[in-house]
Amino acid sequence: MTTGSLLVADLVIAVLASAAWLGGGAASAARRRPLALGLAAVALLATLARAITITALARAGWWFAAEKVLIAAPLSLAAVGVAGPRLLRAPGDIRAVAVPLLFAGYATSSALLVTILHGYPASAGAGLLAVAGVVAATVISGRALGARPSRTVSRAALVVAVAALLTGTGLTVVPAAPPVPHDHGYPVARISDEPTRRVTLTAGTARVDASGRNVAAWAFNGQVPGPELTATVGDVLEVTLRNRDIERGVSLHWHGYDVPNDQDGVPGVTQAAVRPGQEFVYRFRADQAGTYWYHTHSASDVGVRMGLYGVLVVRPGSVTGLDVTVPVHTLAGRPLPAPRVEQVAARVPVRLRLINTDSTTHRYALAGTAFRVAAIDGVDLRGPTPLADTAVLIPAGGRYDLVFDAPATPVALFVDGRAVYSTGPVSTVTDAWPVLDPLAYGESAPMPWSRFDKTFTLVLDRGLDLRGLLPRYAHTVNGAADPDIAPQVVRLGDVVLFTIVNRSQTVHPWHLHGHHVLVLARDGSPAAGSPLWLDSFDVRPGEVWKVAFRADNPGVWANHCHNLAHADAGMTLHLMYS
C-alpha cells in the first residue's frame, strides 16, 4: 500500500470511528439498545484499526503521523478506555452508556479535526484545544442527558477545558515568519550588451478561437498562446511588455529559465506589476538551450488560465529536421492546441517539445514510433534509451522533448487520449500503456556534491489559516500559508538540500524559481537514471522527494506549487540569499 493510499485509508477509518461513536451515543440516549451496541462495536473496531494505519504512517515518515501519534492516539485510547469497560458491563439501561459513548465520539472527532485543520507540525496548542473541546462537549452532553456527575467533577472539567482553550489558542498562533524584504525600488541591473532579439508583447483582453469556439481570453498580442519566442544560445533577448487593459496587472516570468533575479518577473518580489498603460523591459542573455515557456506572474492563477503564456525555445544552433512545439493548455474548458496534421518524409529527425501550461498533470503518449526522451525541463538527459508504447506524465509547468526519426508510417501524439499532433491517421489505443518513471531512465552519473551546507524540509498539507481578515482553508507548507511561511535563507555557493513531503490528498507540482534542482531520491529510493535537473516536478500524495541545488543565482526567488490555484491559496514561499 502506498503512503498516499494509507493516508486516505486512515482518514476514512477515522471518520468511520468518530461517526460510529457519536451515532452509538445518540442511539443509546434514545434507548435504541441493539443499534447502540452495534455502532459501538463498529466504533471499537475502527478505533483499534487506526493503531495499524497510524503505525504504518509513522514508519513511512514522522511527518505523516506526528499529530496522529501525539494527539489522535492518546484521545483514541481515552475513548476506548472510557467507553469500552462500560459497554462490557452491558448495563440494563443502555442510556447509562450514552455519555461515555459521546465522550469517545468527541475525542475521536476532535483528533480528526486536528488532522484536517492543523496538520503538521503537531503543536501542544492544538492538542490542548482538542482536549478542551472534548471536555466541554462531554460536560454539556452530560447535563443535557441529565447524567449527574458530582459538582466537583464537572467544575473541574470545565476549569480544565477553559484553561486548555486559553493556552491552546495562544500556542496555536504561530509567530509570524520574518517578512521577505520586498525592495520597492526594484533596481534593474540590466546587461548592457546590445540586444540581438527584440520583441514586444502587449497584454490585453481578447476573443480567441479555442478548438472551434470563440471564447473570452487574456492574450499577448491578441493570441493564445502568445507569440513563440525563439533564440539561439548567445542571443541577448529584449522583451518589452506592455499592458493594454489587464486590470489585475501583468508581468513576464521565464518559467525554468534561470535569469538574473531582477528579470524574474514576480510582482512584489522582483518588480512591481505592470498596470494598464505601463510597460516593463526585460533583457537577458539566452545562455541555456532548451524548451521553456513564459507566463504572467501577476494574479498568476487567473492570468495564466485566461491565456497569458507562450513558448520560449532556445536552440544551440541551426536546426536539422523538424522541430515542433506542443504547448498544452485548457482555455475556457477547451483543450489547446488544435490538432495539427502534417506530412513528414521518412527518416527526417523530429523533436516534439511538449509543454504543460496547465495547473494539473497531463498524460502524453506517442504512438507509431519508438522515441527517446532527449530532455526534461530544458536539460538534456544522459544516455536516453529508445522507448515504445510508453506514456509520459508531465507535471504542471514541466517540459519533455521527445525525439525520433520519422518512420514511413504515420505517428501520432495523444494528450489525455486526444490526438494533438500527427503525420497521418493512427488508431492505436494508448490508455493502458505503462508510464515512464524518469528517475529510472537513462544513464546515471556520480553526484556532484558530497555534503550539504543547508537543509530544509517542506511539508505540504492543507490547514486553517486564521491570520488574514477572513479565515481560509489554505494550502500550507510546514503548517503556515503565504505570507507567513518562513523563507529559506542560503548563502551564495551553498549546496542546499530540500526534502519535500506531501501529506495532503492532492498532487503538488513543485517549482523553484531561478535554479534547476537535481533529484536525489523519491520515497527513500535513490534516483537511478540520468541526472534529472528539474524545475517542475509532481510530488504526489504520500511522496517524499529529496532534491538539491547549488545556490548560484543570488536574489529573492519564489518557491511554490505550480498548481497556481494552490500557490494563490497559500502554497508560496521564498528562497533568499543572505
Q: What's 578's DSSP letter?
A: -
Q: Which position among 351, 508, 513, 546 is part of the footprint of Cu ion (CB under 5 A)?
A: 508
Which positions touch ligand C2O (CB under 6 A)?
253, 255, 295, 297, 397, 511, 513, 558, 560, 562
- All three cell numbers of 122, joined, read 503537531
User: Phi and psi at residue 456, in whole multiples of 5°?
Assistant: -135, 145
Nearest to ligand C2O of 365, 539 (CB atom)? 539
- Assess contact for 310 and 226: CB atoms under 8 A: yes
Single out the residue of 439, 561, 564, 575 in contact with Cu ion (rule: CB under 5 A). 561
Nearer to ligand C2O, 105 or 327 (CB): 327
Stretch that binds Cu ion, among 25-33, 178-186, 390-398, 564-572 (CB under 5 A): 564-572
Query: Which is nearer to ligand C2O, 361 or 428 (by Cβ)?
Result: 361
Q: Which stretch binds Cu ion (CB under 5 A): 314-322, 330-338, 420-428, 506-514?
A: 506-514
Task: Give which of ligand C2O, Cu ion, none residue 511 binds (C-beta under 5 to 8 Å, depending on kind).
Answer: ligand C2O
- Decide: is 481 part of the binding site for Cu ion (CB under 5 A): no
Closer to Cu ion by CB, 36 or 561: give it: 561
- CB of residue 493 to ligand C2O, shortest distance in Å: 24
Q: How far is the CB of 295 from Cu ion (least distance, A)?
A: 17
Looking at the DSSP assignment, which residues form a beta bridge with residue 403? 351, 372
Whole-angstrom distance, CA of residue 34 vs CA of residue 256: 63
Closest distance to Cu ion from the beta carbon of 561 (Å): 3
Binding partner of 508, given Cu ion, ligand C2O, none, CB within 5-8 angstroms per partner class: Cu ion
> Could you say which of Cu ion, ligand C2O, none residue 399 binds, taking C-beta under 5 to 8 angstroms by partner kind?
none
Tell me if residue 235 falls in helix, strand or coil. Answer: coil
C-alpha cell at 135: 471536555
Q: Considering the complex, what minimum distance in angstroms separates the CB of residue 555 from ligand C2O?
A: 13
Mind giving me the DSSP string for 168-221? HHHHHSPPPPPPP---TT-------SPPSEEEEEEEEEEEEEETTEEEEEEEET
Rule CB under 5 A: choose which of 566, 568, 573, 576 binds Cu ion.
566
* Three-state DSSP state, 369: coil
For 71-91, give the DSSP string. Answer: IIHHHHHHHHHHHHHHHHT--
If the CB atoms of residues 508 and 574 are measured against Cu ion, the closer one turns out to be 508
Q: How does DSSP assign 503-520, residue by residue?
A: -SSS-EEEEETT--EEEE
Asked whether 93 and 29 are in contact (CB, 8 A), the reply is: no
Query: In the bound complex, what is the minimum distance in angstroms from residue 398's beta carbon to ligand C2O?
Result: 10
Nearer to Cu ion, 414 or 498 (CB): 498
Query: What is the nearest approach in angstroms of ligand C2O to the Cβ of residue 295?
Result: 6
| 384 cis-preceded (ω within 30 degrees of 0) | no
Closer residue to ligand C2O (CB): 76 or 298? 298
The answer to whether the beta carbons of residues 509 and 475 sit under 8 Å apart is no
| Binder of Cu ion out of 563, 568, 572, 577 (CB under 5 A) | 563
DSSP calls for 538-570: EE-TT-EEEEEEE--S-SEEEEEESSHHHHHTT
Q: Which is nearer to ligand C2O, 369 or 559 (CB)?
A: 559
Residue ranges binding Cu ion (CB under 5 A): 508, 561, 563, 566
